[in-house]
Chains A and B, each alone.
Chain A
């Protein structure tokens, strides 16, 4: 998968590296601020209440 992305990035090595970095950051931001807040309530790590 990473190979495929690398091969399809345009430009020379430097441009590819920069584009890859941007991609990684974009994915990280997407995970941190969109995916994790959505997924988290479904996970049991943050229960602090007493209930049945």
Chain B
């Protein structure tokens, strides 16, 4: 790119430190400097778009790979979290898998669950980490601190990127009422279903008044309340799941929010290692 710019350069540009020179040349140098600066700024801005759309995807995919490996190891040797397992002596019986306690206690930034959304593809799965700061969301969907854990009474609320960083929630607007959102933890599958009427596709028919999908202002924190739309820190009634992402695509002006409710009893992984029926459909 520099050679293209150089074509316009007169050879007389060497006199920068050589004392006084004609006024016209000074103006020309200044104007050329401004022009080059603006072009540079434009190219850097373009490069930033490339970064947001593509490079963050690469980085996030790597993070997700690392997290799913980490969480599988964690689940394999539960309840010892991240402790390096000593190799069992030769011939010794493998230690019996201890059922993981379902009171999940997880540190900031650590993975603890996997989100499956069959509507977004049979193989759609994302590891959820604790916390919703940028550093956590760069790795995958993040669980709002102080909201319920999977399966608990209250609101299991998760935020994720719409565009860039693997775009985990790019297609949340394709979710329909009744769609399953399956949360996998160490020992259990939880099936949530998007609120609304599956027959008519109307998100607003739930008797609780909670819509299956809504678009809110960024400051509308009530969507992650124990009862979505209720007071923050209010009493819990029912187990909900809430997903938030930005809206519209490529913007952060609003938030797209999906509400779902726990459907049926938790399914133990021991009885269904490949997932509940909702995952297959």
- Residues of A whose CB lies within 8 Å of any CB of B are 1-3, 5-7, 17, 20, 24, 28, 31-33, 36-37, 40-41, 44-52
Contact = CB atoms under 8 A, between A and B. Distances in A.
Contacts of A51: 218-219, 221
B221 A47 contact: no
B218 A3 contact: no
Given A2-B6, A46-B252, A48-B245, 18 more contacts: A3-B6, A6-B2, A28-B47, A36-B47, A40-B134, A44-B252, A45-B52, A46-B246, A47-B246, A48-B161, A48-B246, A49-B137, A49-B144, A49-B255, A50-B218, A50-B220, A50-B224, A50-B244
Contacts of B142: 49
Contacts of A6: 2-3, 6
B50 to A, nearest CB: 8
B61 interface: no
22 contacts: A2-B2, A3-B32, A5-B2, A6-B3, A32-B47, A36-B48, A37-B59, A41-B134, A46-B52, A46-B134, A46-B164, A46-B252, A47-B252, A48-B159, A48-B161, A48-B162, A48-B255, A49-B159, A49-B244, A50-B216, A50-B223, A50-B224
Interface string B190-218: 00000000000000000000000000101
B132 A49 contact: yes
Contacts of A2: 1-2, 5-6, 36
Nearest to B33: A1
B2 A48 contact: no
Contacts of B2: 2, 5-6, 20, 24
B221 A50 contact: yes
A40 B173 CA distance: 26
Contacts of A24: 1-2
Contacts of A47: 218, 246, 252
A31 B134 contact: no
B236 interface: no
A31 B160 CA distance: 25
Contacts of A7: 14
A2 B38 CA distance: 13
Contact of B44 (A31, A33, A52): A31
B9 interface: yes
B55 interface: yes
B124 interface: no
B246 A50 contact: no
B9 A3 contact: yes
A36 B257 CA distance: 28
A45 B49 CA distance: 11
A3 B59 CA distance: 36
